[in-house]
Amino acid sequence: MKAEQGVAIRPMHIRDIRFVHALEQSTFGKSFGESMLYEEIINNQAAHYALMTNDNERIGYIGLRRLDKGAEITTIALREEDRGKGFGTVLLKYGETVCKRWGVLTLTLEVRPSNKVAHAFYKRHGFQVSATRKNYYNDGEDAYLMTKQLGGEHDDRTRNRKQL
Ligand SMILES: CC(C)(COP(=O)(O)OP(=O)(O)OC[C@H]1O[C@@H](n2cnc3c(N)ncnc32)[C@H](O)[C@@H]1OP(=O)(O)O)[C@@H](O)C(=O)NCCC(=O)NCCS
């Protein structure tokens, strides 16, 4: 099945935190933690977190943060049973749209070299490895810093808008 009708993406709410926390734990073996997710959603105006639903059921999410120059994808994940169906592509395009509205032209992320699916996913969507961060993760694995230049119009109307 491919991503299609019934799929929606909306700003994350406090009531979504439990789902996101559980998905982070099952996917990455760790989570930002519920209180940090709360902070990011409610108080961090440089962050944007969005939830994906399919027929009103939560299936995934993406987190973005504005930096001095550019923005980064802090996290992105789908439920295991919903991977490989195109939903991640829809989420990533949504993230790029948010960045363009911010007036951001450079999007970065870190990914484990061992995460072959994610690495290939980003590469297919125009990200390139721009650096290797040694011993980046707690278990000692390096991280690839991947970068994509976004073309797009600067839109001041949404630049400082609070996300919730
Ligand atoms: C990375 C991730 C967000 C991508 O989302 P997705 O919905 O699976 O992505 P898509 O279906 O749009 O594209 C995935 C591509 O990888 C392929 N693929 C191969 N094996 C796969 C697997 N085991 N799981 C998912 N995709 C797989 C898909 O067929 C697809 O290729 P195609 O477009 O050429 O058909 C998702 O796989 C995920 O949640 N992974 C676990 C969390 C994670 O690693 N996040 C990134 C941390 S940096």
Q: What is the mean pLDDT of each run of 10 residues along the chain (164 residues)?
A: 79 96 93 89 95 97 94 97 97 96 95 97 98 96 97 45 35
Q: Check residue 71 and give its pLDDT.
A: 97
| CB of 85 shorter than 6 A to ligand 1 | yes
The finding on whether 117 has its CB within 6 A of some atom of ligand 1 is yes
Tell me the whole-structure pTM to 2 decimals: 0.89
Hey, whose CA ends up nearest to atom 21 of ligand 1? 84
State in Å, rounded, how far the first CA of the chain is from the last one. Answer: 32
Per-domain residue ranges of the chain: 7-153
The residue nearest atom 33 of ligand 1, judged by CA position, is 86
Paired tokens of 128: 């390139």
Q: Which of 83, 91, 144 to mutate to test the pocket of ligand 1 (most atoms within 8 A of CB)?
A: 83
Look at residue 156 in the predicted model and tell me its pLDDT: 38
Q: Is domain 7-153 given the CATH code 3.40.50.300 in the classification?
A: no
Ramachandran assignment for 80, one of left (phi > 0), alpha (psi -120 to 50 degrees), beta (any other)? alpha
Position of tokens 């982070």?
24
- Residues 58 and 51: beta-carbon distance below 8 Å: yes
pLDDT value of residue 152:
52
Q: How far is the CA of 118 from the centre of ligand 1 (A)?
A: 6
- Cross-strand partners of 9: 52
Taking the CA atoms of residue 119, residue 24, residue 4 and residue 150 in that order, the dihedral angle to the nearest 10 degrees is -50
Q: Is the CB of 118 under 6 A from ligand 1?
A: yes
pLDDT at 154: 44
Q: Where are the beta strands (DSSP E) in 17-154?
A: 47-54, 57-66, 71-78, 106-111, 128-133, 143-149
